[in-house]
Amino acid sequence: MQTADHTILKEKVSGQGIAKTFQSWRNSGRPEDERISFYLAIIHAQVQEFERALDSLSTTPLILSGMVGSSIGMMNLPYKEVPLSVDGSDLIIKKLEPSEVLNANVLLVSGARTADDVMRGEETQLVGCSHNNEKIGQSLYIFPGTHSKHIVVESDKAVSFKTYMTGEFFKLLSTKSILSVSVEEGSGMMDEKNKRSFENGIEESVKTNLLHSSFQVRTNQLFNKLSKEENYYFLSGLLIGAEVRELINAHYKRIVLVTTKRLGQFYEAAIRMLNPETLVEMEDADKALIRGQFRILKRYFN
């Protein structure tokens, strides 16, 4: 990233996530005291790919956030307990000095916790979000995903958060359960039938128990009520509705969705159905992550 204006110079996305990296580490049979160097070697290989298109990056600082600081990551960093400043000033940061494996300063950002919940990664995205007048009331930041996070911010601090396993439940139900033969992803919410099915799922999530209503996905197909494609969006509505139904009587000053455009449209539609008076804003999750990492990096080295 060009630090002056946050322009992205080059980006690389791969399937070498934390789970695969951790499995590679276990399969290597190397001792625990070589764990950091093992992970750094993988990161260095990615840096070398960048160097083919850019100038030398050998001393460019790196900042790592998310699961890299977990028990399956490079090292298990302690969580920062809430409240948490949204400017990242009180996050737990671990600095690694340049080494033979990677000749650059490396910062690892820890996650956050409450008495019964944890997150790693979303705290960095939160730092990268725009925070407008939080001091006049509570704002809710929603980070949709496999384990969706709802973070309450008040007076420039994250004071609480909850995790919802919405994305993981949807994947399990739509690919591994008996419902998998009744759903099929299709043309998206632009199709009026899909949109209506999604809205019906939202309404049903409020009226009935999810363990009962989810079986309707099966009977919708058996009784030819919905196509597989329409059923896919009905199931989406059921699960997202179950997640955001607590917002029906909520009085947040604003709700900020930190997500992709595609996933954001589902959540925005659900929130507007259940709480039409609330102001809903959107933040690009990737840009928030980059801004957050840069703000932490800049604050630390300053």
| 108-142 pLDDT, tens digit each | 999 999 999 999 999 999 999 988 766 667 899 99
Residue 136: what pLDDT?
63
pLDDT confidence of 194, banded at 50, 70, 90?
Answer: very high
Residues 119 and 184 occupy one common structural domain: no
Residues 114 and 215 occupy one common structural domain: no
Residues 62 and 106 occupy one common structural domain: yes
Residue 134: what pLDDT?
60
Sorted by sequence, the CB contacts under 8 Å of residue 115 that are 6+ apart come out as none
Kindly report the CATH number assigned to the domain that includes residue 276. 3.30.420.310
On whether residue 28 sits in a domain, the answer given is yes
Residues 275 and 295 occupy one common structural domain: no
Residue 301: what pLDDT?
81
Asked if residues 124 and 296 have their Cβ atoms less than 8 Å apart, the reply is yes
Asked if residues 119 and 149 have their Cβ atoms less than 8 Å apart, the reply is yes
Considering the chain, what percentage of its residues have pLDDT values greater than 90?
73
Residues 27 and 126 occupy one common structural domain: yes
On whether residue 7 sits in a domain, the answer given is no
Residues 117 and 200 occupy one common structural domain: no
Residues 293 and 239 occupy one common structural domain: no
DSSP letters spanning 245-261: GGGTT---SEEEEEE-H
Residue 3: what pLDDT?
80
Question: Measured between alpha carbons, how far is 120 from 235 in angstroms, rounded to an integer?
Answer: 28
Helix count and strand count (H, E) for the chain: 10, 12
On whether residue 136 sits in a domain, the answer given is no
pLDDT at residue 302 tops 80:
no
Q: What is the DSSP letter of 181?
A: G
On whether residue 269 sits in a domain, the answer given is yes
Residues 51 and 91 occupy one common structural domain: yes
Strands 62-64 and 139-143: unpaired
- State pLDDT tens for residues 59-101: 788 999 999 999 999 999 999 999 999 999 999 999 999 999 9
Residue 271, domain extent? 166-283
Residues 170 and 279 occupy one common structural domain: yes
Residues 26 and 94 occupy one common structural domain: yes
Number of domains in the chain: 2
Residues 277 and 290 occupy one common structural domain: no
Residue 283: what pLDDT?
95
Residues 219-235 have a mean pLDDT of 97
On whether residue 151 sits in a domain, the answer given is no
Question: Measured between alpha carbons, how far is 271 from 255 in angstroms, rounded to an integer?
Answer: 9
- State pLDDT tens for residues 254-294: 899 999 998 999 999 999 999 888 889 999 999 999 999 99
On whether residue 145 sits in a domain, the answer given is no
- Which of the residue ranges 7-11, 40-44, 215-219, 221-225 would you say has the lowest mean pLDDT? 7-11
Residues 221-239 have a mean pLDDT of 97
Residues 188 and 103 occupy one common structural domain: no
- State pLDDT tens for residues 163-172: 999 999 999 9
On whether residue 142 sits in a domain, the answer given is no
On whether residue 12 sits in a domain, the answer given is no
Alpha carbon of residue 104 to chain centroid: 27
- State pLDDT tens for residues 19-45: 999 999 999 999 999 999 999 999 998
Average pLDDT, the chain: 92
Residue 133: what pLDDT?
61
